[in-house]
Structure formats: structure tokens, C-alpha cells
Chain A
């Protein structure tokens, strides 16, 4: 966390670890971790042929989880590795200001959708049993 701090700070200001001092490092906890929020994340990432800005939206309980979802999503959709992603800003967005249809479709107090193709993945099948699987 500290070295990442210096990485970003020296990009923004004329400061480096040798010329600056970290006063405190503390975890920032989510204020309302049990309330569902829409997070807008502004980022900048390197693709194979250039670097681009992006704005993405995620619906989640905490900012930390939303950012993690963002990293996974970028890896999945754009093959962007974590080292090539800079998260510029994370902000809780009011429902009326959301832009992406994927978040907007959940802004429905009478939402309903079927749970299709429910399979049993048997994730925790024991390695040794007395009964045939």
C-alpha cells in the first residue's frame, strides 16, 4: 500500500519516498457496509495498443468490493492485468445518475427474474467416501 502510494503520488506531484514522509496508514472502512450502492469507477488502463480512459459502474455493498469486481471485470473483458490499471476515482453514484444499462436494470423495486439452469456443482464432494458418487 505504501509503495503504491508513492507510485501514484510521484505521478501527481514532485514528491518521492526520499523527499516525503508517510504520516499514517490506516484502513478506511465502509460507512454503510449493509446498504446496496451503485459505484462509478473512473479508470485508466493500458491496452495492447494504447492507453485509454474508462468509466464503469458496479453495484455492490462496499467500495473495496466494487473495485475488486472492477479489476476482475477488466481482466475478463479487456485482458487488462492489474499492473496496467490505474483507478482514478471511485464514487458512490445516486441511482438517477447511473449511466450503464446493466446497473439501471436493477433499479426496480418490483424486480423479478428466474434463476435458470440451476445445477449442483458438487464443489465440496469428499475425496474419500463410502457411497458411490
Chain B
């Protein structure tokens, strides 16, 4: 009933997808299903899963249809994409896809932002100096 992301290098094509843990097989493996994220029902090692704080109320070993209904009712995909964790993953992904021109644009944007910050910082520092004297 817990939702978790898959994160392995081995199962490359399912990497980073959201699945729900439907049941526990034994110490090391869970039965997992991701009807709303395109992952078929399968067994997977706990080591390949990262648990998220989202849960959906399903009975253990519930079938894919029931999992899908509970998933959509709880709006898990929406809540996930709004979470900081997902946003960080997305920005990391974006950063790795940048072209050289994008990196140039990023540098220019950072410079512009830092100028604004430093100007304000300078003002505060001068004010503090004046106040000390």
C-alpha cells in the first residue's frame, strides 16, 4: 500500500518510475505494480526501491484494476510531481540534458541574479558599517 520509486541501473527502462508495493513476498522482495506509470506487475528487490511518503489504501495483493482506482483517487502522480523530491529529480535530469547554449544562458542568468544579490548585500554592509561608527 506504499508508493515507491524504482531506482536501479539494472532495470534501466523502469528506472525512476512510481510503483505501488502491493504485497511482500519475503525478506528481500516485494510484489509491485504501477498501472498509472506503465510498469507491469512484478516482483522486485527492496534494494531497488526508494519509499515515498505517499500511500494508497489497497488490500494486500489487490489486483491491478483496484490499484489503479485507488491510485487515481488519491491523485498520487499529481502529489508526487508537486513534491520537492520529484522536482529535484526533474531538475537534475534537465541539467544533464543541457546543451552548450543552454549552459551559456544559465551562466548569464546566474550572473544577473548574483549582481542583484551583491548590490543589496553591499548596501546592507555599508549600512552596518555606518551604524558601527
Contact = CB atoms under 8 A, between A and B. Distances in A.
B17 interface: no
B24 A123 contact: no
Interface in A1-48: 34-36
B9 interface: yes
Interface residues of B, number: 17
Interface in B50-109: 51, 59-61
A36 B9 contact: no
Interface string B33-48: 0000000011100110
A61 B25 contact: yes
Instruction: Say which size band chain A's interface belongs to.
Output: 10 to 19
A124 B9 CA distance: 6
Contact of A59 (B10, B26, B47, B60): B26
B60 A123 contact: no
A34 B25 contact: no
Contacts of B60: 109
A115 B4 CA distance: 13
Contacts of A115: 46, 51
The 6 closest A-B pairs by CB, nearest first: A124-B9, A59-B26, A34-B41, A109-B60, A36-B25, A111-B24
